[in-house]
Amino acid sequence: MASVIRNLYKAAGLFTCRHPAHKQSYGSAGFGYEVSPYHIFCVKKCHPQGCVEFLWRCRTFEKGQPCPRNFKHVGRGCFSCKQYHEDKVNYAPESSLDNAQLEKFVDSLREYQGWIEEMQGKSVEFAGVADSIMPHLEMYIESNRMSVDMDGFYVSFERGIINRDTFDDRLYLKLSGTQLERHKIAPGDRLELLAYFTESRGRIILRKPRRIEVSRNGGKADINFSRALVGRATGRIIGGSVAYCRGCPYVSLVDVANYSRRSPVHYRRFYCLRGVEDSENCPVRLSALLPSNSRENTSQRRF
């Protein structure tokens, strides 16, 4: 019997954490201190007892003075400095659910985890309508350098059919640059294929697709390999609100591996392929506010 499955790892509005890092990560996007169940149950494993964090601090920065060693933030190279100190703080996740609701959610989450374990690495049939295509970007941060690499592309789907079950949540198909160029997939196209089911940090990603069949909807592909390379080089992490960026074809996600901390930290950020850091003053958004006759003369090129 076919089932409807939701990604409970990414269920929204259930948990908050007052750690300052979550304000930085989510506050600008309008989510307050919200964190995902995946973070709570799989990354920090801090439900219900909470966790301990050590916050790196610098007395020089706190006085508004520049670092004599030209560091821009506190990192691994600061441990021997006399101005370095750290705060030990305890954080416990807060839930919007009452005890009975929380217990029911945990039971459902365990069932979902069992389904993930059963599906992991298996070849599955998939069908879905492409929502967007974006480059898979990976940013590496060290104490004295930062780099951004590109590893193929992600085709995202708002939902899809996995074998006979409906996965009623966002999921992704990983494509190589060669596959994207060959099939010229555009948003709105319906795809049917075979691929390997994987779960990565809470996301469902279908990998190594084969026997891809594409039903065109007449849409136009808005990205290719060469343009993605330009976006990788010129793009920037969006520092302000991303509310204006939703649905924008120039926005991607970047997986960040930060090795400048005592323990490596992995997270994701919104990344503008046109290099716009402040969506409030984004030229693409502002041009959309112009009268239609003015927009006709505005370049609509992706980069």
Reference 94, options 13, 6, 183, 11; nearest CA is 13
Whether residue 174 is contained in a domain is answered as yes
Whether residue 3 is contained in a domain is answered as no
User: Where a domain ends, among 113, 133, 157?
Assistant: 113
Whether residue 1 is contained in a domain is answered as no
Strands 251-258, 123-141: pairing is parallel
Query: What is the rounded average pLDDT for all residues in the chain?
Result: 85
Would the pLDDT of 296 be above 60? no
Residues 208 and 266 in one domain: yes
Domain residues for 162?
122-303
Residues 155 and 203 in one domain: yes
Whether residue 183 is contained in a domain is answered as yes
Residue 123 CB neighbour total at 10 angstroms: 12
More confident residue, 92 or 28: 92
Residues 189 and 276 in one domain: yes
Paired tokens of 276: 């716009």
Would the pLDDT of 299 be above 70? no
pLDDT at residue number 25 = 45
Q: What is the torsional sign of CA 178, 181, 186, 189?
A: negative
pLDDT at residue number 234 = 84
Give the whole-angstrom CA distance, residue 99 versus residue 95.
Answer: 9
Half-sphere exposure of 144 (CA within 13 A, CB side): 4
Reference 101, options 202, 22, 15; nearest CA is 15
Residues 213 and 282 in one domain: yes
**Residues 213, 182 contacting (CB under 8 angstroms):** no
User: Where a domain ends, among 113, 146, 173?
Assistant: 113
Residues 148 and 283 in one domain: yes
Would the pLDDT of 291 be above 90? no
Residues 173 and 256 in one domain: yes
Average pLDDT rounded to a whole number, residues 66-78: 88
Would the pLDDT of 28 be above 50? no
Residues 210 and 252 in one domain: yes
Average pLDDT rounded to a whole number, residues 253-278: 83
188: which residues sit within 8 A by CB, 6+ positions away?
A: 129, 130, 217, 218, 219
Q: Is 252 helix (H, G, I), strand (E, B) or coil?
A: strand
pTM of the model: 0.77
Whether residue 229 is contained in a domain is answered as yes
User: Where a domain ends, among 113, 148, 182?
Assistant: 113
Would the pLDDT of 82 be above 80? yes
Give the whole-angstrom CA distance, residue 254 versus residue 265.
Answer: 14
Whether residue 2 is contained in a domain is answered as no
Would the pLDDT of 29 be above 50? no
pLDDT at residue number 67 = 94
More confident residue, 214 or 288: 214
Residues 89 and 136 in one domain: no
Whether residue 223 is contained in a domain is answered as yes
Residues 176 and 65 in one domain: no
Whether residue 224 is contained in a domain is answered as yes
**Residues 28, 240 contacting (CB under 8 angstroms):** yes
Residues 128 and 63 in one domain: no
Give the whole-angstrom CA distance, residue 233 versus residue 214.
Answer: 30
Paired tokens of 215: 């039903």
Total of domains in the chain: 2
Question: pLDDT tens digits, residue range 115-172?
Answer: 999 999 999 999 999 998 999 999 998 877 888 888 899 999 999 999 999 999 999 9
Residues 102 and 127 in one domain: no
Would the pLDDT of 201 be above 80? yes
**Residues 56, 123 contacting (CB under 8 angstroms):** no
Residues 205 and 293 in one domain: yes
**Residues 191, 211 contacting (CB under 8 angstroms):** no
